[in-house]
């Protein structure tokens, strides 16, 4: 697989990473551990070098899975994880980015991942009760101690990004971005390009919607977060499918799948964008990774962008209790 560099950081990764959350968290029951290890190692075999996890995925079990799967190839891959949630045992209880909590939970992540240093450490969500300067300063100290290599933010707004950057250079911002959700184009992406920060879109396939496999008749299993997302109600899915129809049309013309076209559109937006699609299925992994080779014409890109511009997407991204964690 071709590689990309996250902004001006010098951190080089595969053009497509692997979002590992869904193996343990968020989309129903966790996969069998050995199946999860096999999928992650298959990604390595296909040239993926960038793997994304977090403390809260599980919680904790996803970091353990990623660490075990990547142990044989540790020196060949970049592992990203995230801090920023408080826990009561294995239950998440809200946000906590106090410096002392960051230090404690980073030590825990190092142990679960089985690594001496975390390649890319994100603040998972901006904590309104802790100045971002204190967060960035704590990560700066962890970098100086060799426990962390690069600092990242997730779902942070422009003002927060600039304040963090002034204390410790930010290597990457992780936020949702796709044909299904283009809010970052207004202010976030221009700021990242100005400051030389890479962009790591999560949900680059619109939580599966842009693959064309989800219709208004689709049902999700118990524990699947899409059951609680306003954008995935039956009515919203029916209303939003017009965009998928255009993606499917372009895909047929290019001999690709709709998911590959959606990923190729993202890759074409800027060379420091590195999407992290997730999957639990090896054939989908192979399909996603092949998107790096899909060549869309200028006309294809314009048609997709215009279809997205026209789409009046129904439903909020998150329910209210999750939306309040988005820093804008």
Q: What is the DSSP string of 20-78?
A: -GGGTSSBSSPPPHHHHHHHHHHHHHTT--EEE--TTTTTTHHHHHHHHHHGGGGGG-E
Q: Which CATH number fits domain 3-207+270-292: 2.40.30.10, 3.20.20.100, 1.20.120.1200, 3.30.70.360?
A: 3.20.20.100
Q: What is the pLDDT of residues 209-218, one digit of tens each?
A: 999 999 999 9
27 is catalytic: no
Total H helices, total E strands in the chain: 11, 11
d(CA 32, CA 284): 17
Q: What is the pLDDT of residues 80-135, one digit of tens each?
A: 999 999 999 999 999 999 999 999 999 999 999 999 999 999 999 999 999 999 99
Structure tokens at 301: 């890109």
160 sits in the region (left: phi over 0; alpha: psi -120 to 50; else beta) called alpha
- Residues pairing with 137 in the sheet: none
d(CA 31, CA 296): 34
pLDDT given for residue 328 in this prediction: 86
Distance of CA 305 to the CA centre of its chain: 21
Q: What is the pLDDT of residues 263-280, one digit of tens each?
A: 999 999 999 999 999 999
Q: Which of 57, 122, 177, 318 is catalytic?
A: 57
Q: What is the pLDDT of residues 123-158, one digit of tens each?
A: 999 999 999 999 999 999 999 999 999 999 999 999
């Amino acid at each position: 697989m071709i590689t990309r560099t996250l902004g001006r950081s010098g951190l080089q990764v595969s053009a497509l990473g692997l979002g590992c959350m869904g193996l343990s968290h968020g989309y129903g029951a966790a996969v069998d551990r050995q199946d999860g290890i096999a999928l992650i190692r298959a990604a390595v075999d296909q040239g993926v070098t960038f793997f994304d996890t977090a403390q809260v995925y599980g919680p904790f079990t996803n970091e353990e899975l990623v660490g075990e799967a990547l142990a044989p190839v540790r020196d060949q891959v970049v592992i990203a994880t995230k801090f920023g949630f408080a826990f009561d045992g294995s239950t998440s209880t809200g946000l906590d980015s106090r410096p002392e909590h960051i230090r404690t939970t980073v030590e825990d992540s190092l142990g679960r991942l089985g690594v001496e240093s975390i390649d890319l450490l994100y603040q998972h969500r901006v904590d309104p009760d802790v100045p971002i300067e204190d967060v960035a300063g704590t990560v700066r100290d962890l970098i100086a101690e060799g426990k962390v290599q690069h600092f990242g933010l997730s779902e942070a707004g422009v003002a927060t990004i600039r304040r963090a950057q002034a204390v410790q250079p930010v290597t990457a911002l992780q936020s949702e971005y796709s044909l299904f959700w283009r809010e970052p184009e207004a202010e976030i992406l221009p700021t990242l390009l100005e400051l030389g920060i890479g962009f790591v879109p999560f949900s680059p396939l619109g939580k599966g919607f842009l693959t064309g496999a989800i219709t208004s008749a689709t049902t999700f299993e118990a524990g699947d977060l899409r059951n609680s997302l306003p954008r995935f109600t039956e009515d919203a899915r029916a209303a939003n499918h017009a965009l998928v129809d255009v993606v499917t049309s372009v895909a047929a013309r290019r001999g690709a799948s709709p998911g590959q076209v959606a990923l190729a559109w993202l890759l074409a937006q800027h060379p420091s964008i590195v999407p992290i699609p997730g999957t639990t299925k090896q054939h989908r992994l192979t399909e996603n990774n092949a998107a790096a080779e899909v060549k869309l014409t200028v006309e294809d890109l314009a048609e997709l962008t215009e279809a997205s511009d026209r789409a009046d997407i129904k439903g909020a991204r998150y329910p209210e209790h999750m939306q309040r964690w988005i820093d804008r």
